[in-house]
Amino acid sequence: MQICQELSLPSMGCGTWAWGNRLLWGYDESMDDQLQAVFNLCVSNGVTLFDTGDSYGTGRLNGRSESLLGQFSQEYLGPGKENICIATKLAAYPWRWTRQSMVSACKSSAKRLGRNVDLVQMHWSTANYAPWQERGLLDGLADLYEQGLVKGVGLSNYGPKRLKRVHQRFAERGVPIATLQVQYSLLSTYPVTELGVKDVCDELGIKLIAYSPLALGLLTGKYSEKGPFPKGIRGLLFRQILPGIRPLLACLREVAQSKNKTVSQVAINWCICKGTIPIPGAKTVEQAKENIGALGWQLDSGEIAELDQAAASTDKKMVQNIFQTR
């Protein structure tokens, strides 16, 4: 399936799965070669939509995530190179509040990437805490499209009500919204089941991108209630959630066994079957191979229903993004 067709953007690459390139804590430059190998494997297997953000790898790393993606795309020489599409999200920093600040931010991203951004996205809405700030940022986002600096624009962490308002405003300028990102997985169905954002996206012709489709690793089947757990806040979260998702993990394992797939592949494929583009991360070749294994097949309606029911019956859910609007 062509991503360019899915997103209504020219030359956007192919695949129904994309790589979410968020550099995590613990990154060091010795990982660069490994990440290049991950990138190469993804593109050679038809995964050519890469999502990042200008806030990933900030501070001393100075926008390292975008810089790395630019480096990887330049050094890759295999099949599919011409289809590589890079999507980035521009952060709604407090010091960004004019339309020009968004244009400048995107130009800085393009400089780090060594190429124009294909899909530029508003990283989050300021409606929950500083609604006055959003007008200028959205105007700048539309300016980028009108000036031909990007092929498409998208939003992230917007609910249906806010999405409709922005869509109407952009439509008045002839600027289509190509995508919307929300936290969506078997442990985070809230944006779709409660907010109804997928229905609105379908109505408006917007493609839904599912970030954190593996719920930070909880849906990989690699963690148990007895540990070991990841370090820091992630580990605390795992300790709280794992006991309450036993039925869901059991259902995932059962479906995975019947499909001769892994738990994480089933969790990613579920997102695809729901009509979204999941963007799981991968820092190793093994993780990339695991994610790629979610492509080329589909869960049947009965299996999807079983997973839906198991997800609905879990005692614990993923914490929602504080910037998610209604």
How does DSSP assign 241-306, residue by residue?
Answer: HGGGGHHHHHHHHHHHHHHT--HHHHHHHHHHHTTEEEE---SSHHHHHHHHTTSS----HHHHHH
For residue 313, how many other CB atoms are within 10 A of its CB? Answer: 11
Active site residue 145: no
Number of residues that make up the chain = 326
Helix (H) or strand (E) holding 101: helix 99-113
Classify 148 in phi/psi space as left (phi over 0), alpha (psi -120 to 50) or beta: left
Among candidate residues 56, 145, 211, 223, the one labeled active-site is 56
Classify 242 in phi/psi space as left (phi over 0), alpha (psi -120 to 50) or beta: alpha
Strand-by-strand arrangement of the 85-90 sheet: 19-20, 49-53, 85-90, 119-122, 152-156, 177-183, 207-211, 276-279
For residue 224, how many other CB atoms are within 10 A of its CB? Answer: 11
d(CA 175, CA 252): 40
Residues annotated as catalytic are 56
